[in-house]
Structure 1
Amino acid sequence: MADLVTWFGRKGYEVTVGNVIRVIVVDDEALVRSGFALILNAAPDVEVVATATGTDALATVREHRPDVVLLDIRMPGVDGLTVLGELRALAEPPVVAMLTTFDADEYVLAALNAGAAGFLLKDTEPEQLAQLVRTLAAGGVVMSAKASRTLLRGLPQQGRAGADRGRIERLTGREREVLVLLAEGLSNAEIGVRLHLGTGTVKDHVSALLTKLRVSGRVQAALLAQRAGLLDAAR
């Protein structure tokens, strides 16, 4: 499972995004919201277009249509997992990464199963935040080292490989190639370069394979590929 940990905790992961990345920070603490906004707005290609509490998160996202949402997983009044479900149900949902001060197993697994693209601790180094947002916007996955270890401990392994291989057999050859690269941690743009495809075409393939695999996001698809031995076969 070493490669999976490397994928989740990948260092030096460079992503090029041409346009300014629009971000919304959702947290119940004003100090956290302002702190994240201050740090991210210092990057030339990232703009925090709004901040919100959990209760007004959905309306704020609908109004500003961000590329990325950084969402506190535990808030009074409305749970972060509830907000995540609401955001994922939008016609054009943003990429959502969960923010937390802890890494309880049930929250990591529940958030990823609900379609979160990452799980970050609030004490992430400030200089890393902009790069993590770039990775999210480019279709990558970001995960704190603690959260990745928690996820690996909670993965059901026995009896799953055969079922996972059966689901992968539904994919076309091209979709399987995209899945392997996705599971290796590449963004849509990087996959496109590797396979000589446009980014839009890669997005279409990703959408199709997620539907065929019956998973809600890239994390689940990558885990399925890992369990089925698809990465080992590709190597």
Structure 2
Amino acid sequence: MIRVVVVDDEELVRSGFRLILQAAGDIEVVATSTGEQAVRAVGLHRPDVVLLDIRMADMDGLTVLRQLQGLKPPPVVAMLTTFDSDEYIVTALRSGAAGFILKDTAPAQLAQMVRTLAAGGVVLSSKVSRTVVEGHLGGGADGEAVARAGQLTERERGVLVLIAEGLSNTEIGARIHVSVGTVKDHVSAILTKLRVGSRVQAALVAERAGLLADGERGP
């Protein structure tokens, strides 16, 4: 079972997400909380995934994210938002979020995104705006992303696409028939050559370099 904590200041949203995710069969919502209760709830239940509202009345979602990143080990956190152009998404991704999910995501897609997060992948809504992508990477031109991706070997480009699709190292290894250790070496080389610090940032470079087809980033 994948253990999830949902953090939102609206009880209706928390209840809705609980019902949707519990219906998946392999996901258990072990707790829901407001922003002020989030760190305590996560520390108590130690979930695999935290779904965190980026905008809350009782406590700013970015503040909660930074507090959660201070836990040892920090949980996997995806931000919930109503707007695909939310300017806070950029800061959240830079602060360690593993992606973001729009609140109107279809139930089946929501469950799959949680599975992707639990497996160590990243999730980026298909509606991610160009403004968010460019803001996250510093606003460089697409040509720069193409140039960065051009430094990768053919195998590394293939691994980068699989990272952007949300696959974990284990899943990537199974897909391309190599060991997890070899995948880790490829990922390390990709992050170094792209000059980024996380899989999310690497996925966004792949997006801007034109390596990805339109659609949800998930297996």
Task: Please state which band the TM-score falls in when normalised by the shorter chain.
Answer: 0.7 to 0.9
With over 3 angstroms needed to count, the CA separation of the structure-2 counterparts of 1:96 and 1:206, relative to structure 1, is farther
Preserved CA contact (<8 Å) 1:113 1:216: no
Question: 1:17-96 counterparts in 2 under 5 A?
Answer: 20-96=1-77
The CA deviation at 1:79 is 0.7
Preserved CA contact (<8 Å) 1:119 1:147: no
**For 2:104 and 2:125, how far apart are their aligned partners in 1?**
10
How many percent identity over aligned positions? Answer: 67
Matched to 2:18, the amino acid is: A
Preserved CA contact (<8 Å) 2:21 2:29: yes
The CA deviation at 1:73 is 0.4
Could you tell me which residue of structure 2 aligns to residue 161 of structure 1?
144
Preserved CA contact (<8 Å) 2:134 2:140: no
Preserved CA contact (<8 Å) 1:103 1:150: no
Matched to 2:89, the amino acid is: V
Could you tell me which residue of structure 1 aligns to residue 217 of structure 2?
none
Q: 1:135-183 deviations in whole A, cap 9, x for unaligned? A: 2212222222333444235351249838x849x97x9998776445324
User: Structure 1 unaligned runs (5+)?
Assistant: 1-19
Could you tell me which residue of structure 1 aligns to residue 107 of structure 2?
126
**For 1:88 and 1:175, how far apart are their aligned partners in 2?**
29
**For 1:89 and 1:78, how far apart are their aligned partners in 2?**
17
**For 1:23 and 1:208, how far apart are their aligned partners in 2?**
32
SS in 2 for 1:145: coil
What TM-score comes out, normalization by structure 2 length?
0.76
Preserved CA contact (<8 Å) 2:82 2:102: yes
Could you tell me which residue of structure 2 aligns to residue 15 of structure 1?
none
Q: 1:3-61 deviations in whole A, cap 9, x for unaligned? A: xxxxxxxxxxxxxxxxx111000001111111111111111110001111111111211
With over 3 angstroms needed to count, the CA separation of the structure-2 counterparts of 1:211 and 1:78, relative to structure 1, is farther
Matched to 1:54, the amino acid is: G
User: Structure 2 unaligned runs (5+)?
Assistant: 213-219
Q: Would you say how many aligned residue pairs link Structure 1 and Structure 2?
A: 210
Q: 1:90-145 deviations in whole A, cap 9, x for unaligned? A: 22222211112223442121111222122222122223221121122122222223
- Tell me which of the two structures has the higher relative contact order, counting C-alpha pairs closer than 8 angstroms and 6 or more residues apart: 1
Preserved CA contact (<8 Å) 2:122 2:163: no
**Which of 57-66 and 120-129 deviates more?**
120-129
**For 2:87 and 2:14, how far apart are their aligned partners in 1?**
25
The CA deviation at 1:219 is 1.2
Question: 1:1-235 counterparts in 2 under 5 A?
Answer: 20-152=1-133, 154=135, 155=137, 156-158=139-141, 161=144, 165=148, 178-179=159-160, 181-199=162-180, 202=183, 206=187, 215-224=196-205
**For 2:72 and 2:179, how far apart are their aligned partners in 1?**
23
Q: Provide the aligned C-alpha RMSD in A.
A: 3.4
**For 1:144 and 1:158, how far apart are their aligned partners in 2?**
22
The CA deviation at 1:80 is 0.5
With over 3 angstroms needed to count, the CA separation of the structure-2 counterparts of 1:138 and 1:76, relative to structure 1, is same
**For 2:93 and 2:203, how far apart are their aligned partners in 1?**
12
**For 1:128 and 1:159, how far apart are their aligned partners in 2?**
29
Matched to 2:6, the amino acid is: V
SS in 2 for 1:59: helix
